[in-house]
Amino acid sequence: MKIIMLGAPGAGKGTQAKKIAEKFGIPHISTGDIFRANIKEGTELGKKAKAFMDKGELVPDELTCDLVMDRISSDDCKNGFILDGFPRTIPQAEALSKALSAKGEKMDYAVDIEVNDEAIVERMGGRRACAVCGATFHLVNIPPKVEGHCDSCGGPLILRDDDKPETVRKRLEVYHDQTQPLIAYYEKEGILKQVDGMLPMEEVFNKIVQLTGE
């Protein structure tokens, strides 16, 4: 089962992707993780990606797609995978479809978690990250056991700059401009499934499981 997770930043797609990956025993793949792993291992693709990132530039679509295709060619992906954070644009989606098609494969589902902008601004304002180990919490949904401190290492919890309301609104503008068109793209492909992300987390998960026909 090959799934793409869609939705605005803060819609909960990362959380749901992890839960689905656990349930079906398939890897949860995020482009951020792929970049970090390749750069750390010093692979050729990683070196190329790092050259762009060091200059503060976006990694080109073709190179990003090459990194993703390299990752999903691994043995642990033979029964499927979940893509989280890729594709972000129509050109990336087209590059992915073309690369998969060359292997005689295609994506099975694109799951869009729908949440309105104001709810996202409110949600992300409640996020807290550990300044030491990076573990994430939410003041309402996943509160730490001890207020202001990480459950894992005891480090201080902070509101990251990219979770502040003004930053979130800018990120949402970019999402609506660049990524939201993927909804129509995958609807045309006939693999789009939409879920109301305003429902409780467990209900959203159950709906996704139902919609993907498993």
Tell whether 146 is covered by a domain.
Answer: no
The two structure tokens encoding residue 183? 């909804």
Three-class SS state of 30: strand
Strand 127-130, strand 157-158: pairing:
antiparallel
Tell whether 161 is covered by a domain.
Answer: no
Tell whether 170 is covered by a domain.
Answer: no
Q: Over the stretch 20-70, which tens digit does the pLDDT of each residue have?
A: 999 999 999 988 888 888 999 999 999 998 888 888 777 888 889 899 999
Counting Cβ atoms within 10 Å, is residue 82 exposed (0-12), middle (13-18) or buried (19+)? buried
Q: Over the stretch 125-173, which tens digit does the pLDDT of each residue have?
A: 999 999 999 898 999 888 999 999 999 999 999 998 888 999 899 889 9
Tell whether 156 is covered by a domain.
Answer: no
Please check whether residue 111 is in contact with residue 195, taking contact to mean a CB–CB distance below 8 angstroms.
yes
Whether pLDDT at 5 is above 90: yes
Domain extent for 189: 2-116+179-211
* Farthest-apart Cα atoms in the chain, separation: 51
Which pTM does this prediction carry?
0.83
Residue pointed to by tokens 């398939």: 26
Tell whether 39 is covered by a domain.
Answer: yes
d(CA 170, CA 153) in angstroms, rounded, equals 32
Tell whether 18 is covered by a domain.
Answer: yes
Whether pLDDT at 203 is above 90: yes
Tell whether 147 is covered by a domain.
Answer: no
- So what's the pLDDT on residue 214? 55
Residue pointed to by tokens 């159950």: 206
Three-class SS state of 162: helix
- So what's the pLDDT on residue 98? 92
Number of domains in the chain: 1
Tell whether 100 is covered by a domain.
Answer: yes
Residue 50 sits in a domain whose CATH number is 3.40.50.300
Residue 151, amino acid = D
Give catalytic residues, as residue numbers.
13, 88, 127, 160, 171
| Average pLDDT over every residue of 79-105 | 92
- So what's the pLDDT on residue 169? 92
